Amino acid sequence: MTQPIQGFSKFSKEEKINWLIDTYFQGNSEKVEFLKSYWHENSDVQQLHDEFIENTLTNYYLPFGIAPNFRINGKMVAIPMAIEESSVVAAASKAATFWLSRGGFSARVISTIKVGHVHFIWNGEDFRKLEAFVDGLQQRFLDATDHITANMRARGGGILSTRLVDKTEDEPNYYQLEARFDTVDSMGANFINSCLEAFAAVLKEEVHQFEGFSQPSDQELDVVMCILSNFTPECLVRAEVKCKVEDLKDGNVSGDEFARKFQRAINIANAEPYRAATHNKGIMNGIDAVVIATGNDFRAVEACAHSYAARTGRYKSLTQCTVENGEFCFYIEIPMALGVVGGLTSLHPMVKFSLELLGKPSASELMMIIASSGLAQNFGALRALVTTGIQKGHMKMHLLNILNQLGATEEEREHVKSYFEDKVVVHAEVVQYFCSLRGVTQAELHGK
Ligand code: MEV
């Protein structure tokens, strides 16, 4: 059995790699070279990457592409996407081009409020006393965070409000100090958490001084944790596309029929969580790719999107569609907490490039771009699903991936592509055809 390793984080990068390869790859030096081959040739750039996380050994590449032809609020945008899944960039580009001639995307930010909580237990019995205690601390909360909020206030943000929430119906003696924040162009996680910890210190300090607390149990206040919430339903953006129903005509499918089929697909996603999860996953294909390219926290965006999709108690579609008076309207309303300053945004070279490509947007502008990308992705997926089926487009990319795995030459690729032009792409059949084309057995192909 592998022995636990002590002090690994103190090892140099070289030592870490050697330990790993000795321990898990029988000291195979080719594996060392393999990891090193992904190091950046510029040592400054590599050092930057090394320092993003702990125990860095090398880099992990993701393809970076763009989906051009997005017209958002009248402005042409080429959207950067970092994603491993084939067809996502193609679908976004296709949907962007489709809507380009129909007015493009319009988007607006509904609100940008973020939330955090001091979760605490209070053993007193009279809620009104606790209310009076917290009400009396409002100025203390501001004073205690003055040094933390100074820069944010100068940029137009800061703490918007604090309030006491009684959660004792859900958990005995459980209360929250809920705070709302405007973090302007930063995602604001560190800012919010620092403010919350300062609020908690005030609560713990003042609980012993408050004259309104007469019973010993009134002074028993335990802070459980201080943390921002990744559910930010008030940090909300809307993006939409609209056109006359007749302008939706798609090949042999009339505009009316397309709108009917499309709307039914949305209705199904609203009615059926099994479908909603896949439907929303498609939306997140378009969202996460841009979130990653712009150095934002895709786990936070995912967590927020899915909790919002379930806000009514049933998990539903994040996009909706209306057909009224001959007009088709397709829209998304989705909360997302993004930053364009701080974090990776000024450090990661590709993130800086992406933000420059987007014209150095504010966080609100980025919310609108990303919501449009999610909407486009969903439009592309639903359009394919309710007309030709999804596999037609996917299969082309699937075939290319298989050919890459097989190490096909340019000539072989052309042969295989033309052979499968009118056939379903099945991995085993591609390999079989490829082997016959090359004149080798499958065992020979795999070097056995
Ligand atoms: C695949 O990554 C995404 C889709 O499954 C989305 C959908 O079904 O709507 C195509």
Query: What is the per-residue pLDDT across 73-112, written as a single tens digit (0 to 9) for each?
Result: 999 999 999 999 989 999 999 999 999 999 999 999 999 9
Do residue 18 and residue 141 come from a single domain? no
Residue type, 426: V
Q: What angle do CA 9, 15, 17 make, to 5 degrees?
A: 95
Do residue 291 and residue 357 come from a single domain? yes
Residue 390 CB coordination number (10 Å): 17
How far is ligand 1, taken at its centre, from the CA of residue 59, in Å?
Answer: 29
Domain membership flag for residue 57? no
User: Domain limits at 36?
Assistant: 8-50
How far is ligand 1, taken at its centre, from the CA of residue 288, in Å?
Answer: 14
Total tally of structural domains belonging to the chain: 4
Domain membership flag for residue 381? yes
How far is CA 400 from each of CA 45, 233, 428, 438, rounded to the nearest angstrom? 32, 41, 14, 17
* CA nearest to 360, candidates 382, 340, 332: 340
Q: CA 162 to CA 62: how far, in whole Å?
A: 41
| Residue 423 pLDDT level (bands cut at 50, 70, 90) | confident
Q: Is the pLDDT of residue 337 over 80?
A: yes
Tokens of 181: 């924040």
Do residue 369 and residue 313 come from a single domain? yes
Q: CA 371 to CA 287: how far, in whole Å?
A: 7
DSSP 3: P
- Rg of the chain over Cα atoms, rounded to whole angstroms, equals 27
Is the distance from the beta carbon of residue 162 to the nearest atom of ligand 1 less than 6 Å? no
Do residue 375 and residue 258 come from a single domain? yes
Ligand 1 atom 2: residue of nearest CA: 282
* CA nearest to 105, candidates 129, 134, 77, 71: 71
Do residue 377 and residue 302 come from a single domain? yes
**Interval 202-210 mean pLDDT:** 96
Ligand 1 atom 9: residue of nearest CA: 279
How far is ligand 1, taken at its centre, from the CA of residue 378, in Å?
Answer: 8
Q: CA 78 to CA 70: how far, in whole Å?
A: 6
| Residue 390 pLDDT level (bands cut at 50, 70, 90) | confident
Query: What is the per-residue pLDDT across 18-77, written as a single tens digit (0 to 9) for each?
Result: 999 999 999 999 999 999 999 999 999 999 999 999 999 999 999 999 999 999 999 999
Q: What is the pLDDT of residue 400?
A: 86
| Residue 401 pLDDT level (bands cut at 50, 70, 90) | confident
Q: Which of 261, 268, 281, 375 to mutate to test the pocket of ligand 1 (most atoms within 8 A of CB)?
A: 281
Is the distance from the beta carbon of residue 391 to the nearest atom of ligand 1 less than 6 Å? no
The residue length of the chain stands at 448
Q: What is the pLDDT of residue 102?
A: 96
| Residue 441 pLDDT level (bands cut at 50, 70, 90) | very high
Query: What is the per-residue pLDDT across 242-254, written as a single tens digit (0 to 9) for each?
Result: 999 999 998 889 9
The single residue of 49, 394, 415, 417 carrying the catalytic annotation is 394
**Interval 248-277 mean pLDDT:** 96
Do residue 383 and residue 250 come from a single domain? yes
Last residue of a domain, one of 337, 368, 387: 387
Q: Which of 84, 279, 386, 394 to mutate to test the pocket of ligand 1 (most atoms within 8 A of CB)?
A: 279
Is the distance from the beta carbon of residue 384 to the nearest atom of ligand 1 less than 6 Å? no
Do residue 245 and residue 312 come from a single domain? yes
Domain membership flag for residue 107? no
Q: What is the pLDDT of residue 445?
A: 87
Q: What is the pLDDT of residue 431?
A: 93
CATH number of the domain to which 143 belongs: 3.30.70.420
How far is ligand 1, taken at its centre, from the CA of residue 278, in Å?
Answer: 6
CA 133 to chain CA centroid, nearest Å? 39
**Long-range interactions of 395-401: CB distance < 8 A, separation 24+:** 395/420, 395/424, 395/425, 397/86, 397/87, 397/90, 398/86, 398/425, 399/425, 399/430, 400/86, 401/86
Q: Is the pLDDT of residue 190 over 80?
A: yes
Q: CA 203 to CA 177: how far, in whole Å?
A: 10
Residue 436 exposed, middle or buried by CB count within 10 Å (0-12, 13-18, 19+): exposed
Q: What is the pLDDT of residue 137?
A: 97
Cross-strand partners of 222: 121
Is the distance from the beta carbon of residue 285 to the nearest atom of ligand 1 less than 6 Å? yes
| Contact call for residues 130 and 124 (beta carbons, < 8 A) | yes
Q: What is the pLDDT of residue 48?
A: 96
Domain membership flag for residue 109? no
Q: CA 342 to CA 191: how far, in whole Å?
A: 11
**Interval 241-266 mean pLDDT:** 95
Do residue 86 and residue 173 come from a single domain? no
Global confidence as pTM: 0.91
How far is ligand 1, taken at its centre, from the CA of residue 282, in Å?
Answer: 4
* CA nearest to 279, candidates 266, 261, 298, 297: 266
**Interval 403-425 mean pLDDT:** 91
Query: What is the per-residue pLDDT across 135-186, written as a single tens digit (0 to 9) for each?
Result: 999 999 999 999 999 999 999 999 999 999 999 999 999 999 999 999 999 9
Domain membership flag for residue 3? no
Tokens of 107: 């988007």
| Residue 422 pLDDT level (bands cut at 50, 70, 90) | confident
Map residue 231 onto helix, strand or coil.
coil
| Contact call for residues 258 and 248 (beta carbons, < 8 A) | yes
| Residue 357 pLDDT level (bands cut at 50, 70, 90) | very high
Average pLDDT, the chain: 96
| Residue 7 pLDDT level (bands cut at 50, 70, 90) | very high
Which of residues 319 and 447 earns the better pLDDT score?
319
Q: CA 177 to CA 197: how far, in whole Å?
A: 11
Q: What is the pLDDT of residue 141?
A: 98
* CA nearest to 56, candidates 79, 42, 36, 81: 36
Active site residue 281: yes
Active site residue 85: yes
Do residue 220 and residue 324 come from a single domain? no
Tell me phi and psi for residue 223, to 5 degrees.
-80, 125
How far is ligand 1, taken at its centre, from the CA of residue 281, in Å?
Answer: 6
The single residue of 178, 297, 302, 365 carrying the catalytic annotation is 297
Is the distance from the beta carbon of residue 383 to the nearest atom of ligand 1 less than 6 Å? no
* CA nearest to 232, candidates 356, 338, 380: 338
Residue type, 301: V
Active site residue 36: no
Q: Is the pLDDT of residue 389 over 90?
A: no
| Contact call for residues 159 and 193 (beta carbons, < 8 A) | no
CA dihedral for 261, 267, 273, 276, sign (positive or negative): positive
**Interval 5-26 mean pLDDT:** 97
Is the distance from the beta carbon of residue 390 to the nearest atom of ligand 1 less than 6 Å? yes
Active site residue 117: no
Is the distance from the beta carbon of residue 281 to the nearest atom of ligand 1 less than 6 Å? yes
Do residue 252 and residue 338 come from a single domain? yes
Domain membership flag for residue 440? yes
How far is ligand 1, taken at its centre, from the CA of residue 425, in Å?
Answer: 18
Q: What is the pLDDT of residue 397?
A: 76
